[in-house]
Structure 1
Amino acid sequence: MKNKAITVFGEVLFDHFPDGSKVLGGAPFNVAWHLQAFGGNPQFISRIDNDPSGIQIRVAMQSWNMNPDFLQQDFCYPTGQVEVAINQGEPSYSILPDQAYDHIEMAGLNGLNHTGILYHGTLATRSAISRETLMSLKALHQGKIFIDVNLRQPWWNKADVLALIKDTDWLKLNLHELQALHDDVTDVKTSMKELVSRYKLEGIVVTCGEEGALALDNSGEFFSVSPTTPVGLIDTVGAGDAFSAILLLGINLGWPLGQTMERAQIFASAITGRRGATVNDLNFYHPFIASWQLG
């Protein structure tokens, strides 16, 4: 696939489920994992310990042919871990403090390609070290910036998140996050218009769970998608990240936004039929690759 670089910055961790299983996760890692399957070859920036979980992450990335050059090694802080609870199909998260991904440094990132799209979330900005590294990367970046809002209590505050949005081109968040960040959400479309105007965004995407998603670009055109194919729901962990991966893919390849939204919804729906956010089976991706002519 011939495209510009997609750089993905942030956490990699293991989601631990009530049944004792654990699945690789972290929103940025999930996005990078899917992009790799679709031939996007992302530059993934994160940090892990040399503990068993960290070793497992390196092995998984190697088996998936992901570029390990920007996966940093920590010797003081553990590889990220999250406890996931599932209530009526919806996940809730208990996120541990002071993990390796909170200590991402600029050292070792000199070989980055600073064109294309720089993707990041909000969780990894909870720490001063990772946040300062991200700010340095943004200063060097020559392409678009895509923020995927993930508000996880108690690891965020409104002022900091809004400050991040000021220098972004694309903003993605869910309906609850829109309500948390925007003072008056009496009408979702009106709020989206106000954010595009206020922050001079190229586009905004609001996901609405089982009702689908809305998008607005800076020309004022709205797009709406909703799930159409029934899926045997297992959990919704990572569905938003799957949606983000296809948004990035579409923006990078120049797909029309309406088409990108439709494809993102289809893929996100498929992910809800699998346990956790990542799928370690390329056969899962083949129908999408063929349908979207990515091969």
Structure 2
Amino acid sequence: MFVLFEEAGKYLGGRVLSEAEASAQVELETGKRVKVKTGNIVLRFEKPGPAELIVEARAVAATIDLDLAWEFAPEGEFGFAELAAEYFQDKPTLAQQAAALFGLFEAPHYFRRAGKGRFKKAPAEIVQQALAAIEKKKLVQAQIAEWASELVAGTCPVPVREQLYKILFKPDKNAPEYRAVVEASRASQRPPLELLEKAGAIDSAYQFHWKRFLFENFPKGTAFPPLQAPAITDDLPLADGVQAFSIDDSQTTEIDDALSVQGFGSGTVTVGIHIAAPGLALVPGSAIDQVARQRMSTVYMPGYK
């Protein structure tokens, strides 16, 4: 006698060598012998052989219209043989029964498992949601394949270019842009960086390293929110006759210190060191104060700050 049984989420077939009340000793096609719980056995048959039955059942299962099977399925809990009788014929063949089992087992969006070889219809709204999700997944996969093909051909799709530094240095491995680069890298047998360079995603080595620096050190960007300079309400003392000079280049935007020299005609010279005092105008807790506390300092680098 042969049996079809479930083992670790798969259906296997084999010849029964011996059987007790709670289990059976089964020999697989490979010659391996396994102990199978009686409750895991879903079909018993004399012929054909297990391998032949599984091949035939798989072929029949591929023809099952799942929407129609869902309509035919009984309400409440049911066994695969019951569905086979409703879907195929009143007395389904062994292959048709096994096909119904495989079809039910491999369509969890239509049928929920209710035990070994037993199932229950999923609610209609759940089926529709699952089908919509499957269709969306297919569209995303098609988009990934299209982008990967473009990358292999030497063209960088705009969405991939826009996510370039995130893909390379802080990737979301579920994002379609990242997956397209991985797929193209495998297909072309090129490292991602070389692949993207060949596809024209990297304009220059300088820009690449500069933007990488910004991406890693300024993940929120370098721009400031629109803020208005606070008004100075206190009367500040003015030094009469003092001319202060800052030592900066012509493009400086932060004149925050200066020097002055003042002679009094008596041989005494006063050297003045003038430092910006933003604290006189900034109110603790204000919007501009919060930005200053978050930024803390200015980062200087060649050509930028």
TM-score higher than 0.5: no
| TM-score, L = length of structure 2 | 0.20
